[in-house]
Amino acid sequence: MATATKSKSKSGTSSHAANGHANGSAGNGFSKAAVTIFDQVGLPKDPDNLYTQTVSVMLHAAELMGLPDYLRLILAQPKNEIMVHFPVKMDNGKHELFKGYRVQHNNALGPYKGGLRFHHDVHLDDVKSLAFLMTMKCSLVGVPYGGGKGGIKVDPRQHSKTEMEHIVRRFTAAIAHNIGPDYDIPAPDVGSNSQHMAWIADTFSFLSEIGGDNPAAVITGKPIEYGGSLGREKATGQGVVDTLVEMLPELKLKPEKCTFSVLGYGNVGSWSGKIFQDKGAKMIAVADHTGFIRNDRGIDAYDLDTHVKKTGGVKGYAKATAISKEEFYKTKVDVFIPAALEQMIQEPEANMMNCRVVAEGANAPTTPAGERILMSKGIEVLPAILCNAGGVTVSYFEWVQNKTFQAWDLESVDAELNKHMVKAAQKTRKARAEFKCDLRTAAYIAALQRLKEAYEIRGLFP
């Protein structure tokens, strides 16, 4: 395994303060205000903990904009954390017990929404962090959803199609009473795909009498033949490129003149690569769990995609040279697109990186300590809650189409997506100007503003 393994707790000094966010540090680099909330809601004050890291960035934004205390408390923990264990018979006749999760972070703006990760290294804290990020992302990009996330601790590559079908259907049965087209709507994430979504929709429709007119609307990212939307498969990558096109001019960069590298060549990485290349940009280096490759004359993003689909990774791609991890990160490019897992840009990687912009296609790829280094090097980070919001935005369009029995054409999907991405980028820029902060903090402020308005109008029951 070369790189696409997330390395947790490697950076001993990652911190809020390290990110330039110190506001009266109370140890471990977290601000006093953040530590007060951590104590109140029972969060570990561990700077390496992904969930603590994620919430601390929100709390910094909350501090700057003066978010009421009760909202900081509400947002610092998810509403529900569901954990299930379920047995499945394997092809060899033996049973295995699987662990599944669904975390429902917040539903103030609408039903819980977010993907399902199928990965052998998925834990509750990861799922909590990702659910939290969905709340922020949906708020920022202006879709009427809250945030959720789920997953199964499983390596899909280790199972036959039949085994995966049984695992996915049995997981659906285990959480069926906790999801629904108007309550919690899952979608694909790392390791899951449209076939899995189809099995979930079918299982839910079969089990559920509460699905309404179209129970398949319980999930998005479905195949086109079964209620999916045109443009959903490429949507996250499309959103990454829409964000770049919107944000690059202020950095005096032109998409058609850009060079870029991509970390992770799955759905998000490959579509970002292909669409950015279509704008005239040149892909120089790519890495995934199988290896690191480079070609200074350019790697054709479509051709590499064909190779990866055939062989399972970038390794062995004949039209590029195999390089080391260090060479990959040190490759000089205009744009670096992390599109794999969380916490992959820590201090060592950030120290090596030689780019102008990081466009976060993955969720939470940069640790606070990594980000501090990027900032000190003058590298602009386009934060994930903005940059990768294209996926959930087109999921929203799919859900609307399901609920109204419509089928939009691709031009309409792309045009609507672009409107949402541009508006979210504008809101982020506005918050940056008003609060004189970095783009990540600004994106959180813009997201929190919408949540604050909703809570103020709704009030709190009872």
Write down the catalytic residue from 149, 282, 427, 452.
149
Of 29 and 146, the one with the shorter C-beta distance to ligand GLU is 146
Binding of ligand GLU by 114 (CB under 6 A): yes
> Would you give the binding string for ligand GLU spanning residues 140-179, x where CB under 6 A is met?
----------------------------------------
Please pick, from the candidates 3, 220, 229, 277, the single residue that binds ligand GLU as defined by CB under 6 A.
Answer: 220
Of 17 and 451, the one with the shorter C-beta distance to ligand GLU is 451
Of 15 and 272, the one with the shorter C-beta distance to ligand GLU is 272
Rounded distance, CA 81 to CA 395, Å? Answer: 23
Which residues are CB-neighbours of 370 under 8 A, at least 6 positions away?
A: 11, 14, 345, 346, 347, 349, 350
Q: Closest distance between ligand GLU and the C-beta of residue 122, in Å? A: 13
Rounded distance, CA 375 to CA 381, Å? Answer: 8
Q: Closest distance between ligand GLU and the C-beta of residue 114, in Å? A: 5
Q: Closest distance between ligand GLU and the C-beta of residue 395, in Å? A: 3
| Residue whose pair of structure tokens reads 């990768």 in the numeric block | 388
* Pairing, β 259-263 against β 321-322: unpaired
272 touches 296 (CB < 8 A): no
Q: Closest distance between ligand GLU and the C-beta of residue 68, in Å? A: 27
Q: Which residues, 318 to 337, sit near ligand GLU by CB under 6 A?
A: none
Of 291 and 391, the one with the shorter C-beta distance to ligand GLU is 391
Binding of ligand GLU by 342 (CB under 6 A): no
Please pick, from the candidates 56, 295, 395, 418, the single residue that binds ligand GLU as defined by CB under 6 A.
Answer: 395
Nearest to 345 by CA among 327, 321, 372: 372
Distance of CA 90 to the CA centre of its chain: 31
Q: What is the number of the residue whose Cβ is closest to ligand GLU? A: 115
Binding of ligand GLU by 392 (CB under 6 A): yes
Of 383 and 391, the one with the shorter C-beta distance to ligand GLU is 391
Please pick, from the candidates 48, 163, 165, 189, the single residue that binds ligand GLU as defined by CB under 6 A.
Answer: 189
Rounded distance, CA 228 to CA 231, Å? Answer: 9
Q: Which amino acid is at 399?
A: W
| Residue whose pair of structure tokens reads 């977010």 in the numeric block | 114
User: How many residues bind ligand GLU, per CB under 6 A?
Assistant: 12
Please pick, from the candidates 52, 104, 290, 363, the single residue that binds ligand GLU as defined by CB under 6 A.
Answer: 363
149 is catalytic: yes
Q: Closest distance between ligand GLU and the C-beta of residue 75, in Å? A: 18
Q: Closest distance between ligand GLU and the C-beta of residue 179, in Å? A: 12
Rounded distance, CA 55 to CA 57, Å? Answer: 5
Q: Closest distance between ligand GLU and the C-beta of residue 81, in Å? A: 18
**Whole-number Cα distances in Å, 4 to 191, 288, 314:** 13, 6, 12
Of 15 and 267, the one with the shorter C-beta distance to ligand GLU is 267
- The DSSP string of 301-350 is HHHHHHHHHHHSSSTT-TTSEE--HHHHHH-B-SEEEE-S-TT-B-HHHH
Of 14 and 363, the one with the shorter C-beta distance to ligand GLU is 363
- The DSSP string of 158-227 is GS-HHHHHHHHHHHHHHHGGG-BTTTEEEEE-TT--HHHHHHHHHHHHHH-S-STT-GGGG--S--GGGT
Binding of ligand GLU by 29 (CB under 6 A): no
Task: Identify which range of 73-81, 111-119, 303-311, 441-449 contacts ligand GLU by CB under 6 A.
Answer: 111-119
112 touches 78 (CB < 8 A): no
- For the chain, counts of helices (H) and of strands (E): 16, 12
Please pick, from the candidates 110, 355, 391, 445, the single residue that binds ligand GLU as defined by CB under 6 A.
Answer: 391
SS3 379: coil
Binding of ligand GLU by 420 (CB under 6 A): no
- The DSSP string of 100-167 is EEEEEEE-SSSSEEEEEEEETT--HHHHHHHHHHHHHHHHHHT-S--EEEEEEE--GGGS-HHHHHHH
Q: Closest distance between ligand GLU and the C-beta of residue 139, in Å? A: 13
Binding of ligand GLU by 77 (CB under 6 A): no
Binding of ligand GLU by 113 (CB under 6 A): yes
Q: Which residues bind ligand GLU (CB under 6 A)?
A: 113-115, 187, 189, 220-221, 363, 388, 391-392, 395
Task: List active site positions.
Answer: 149
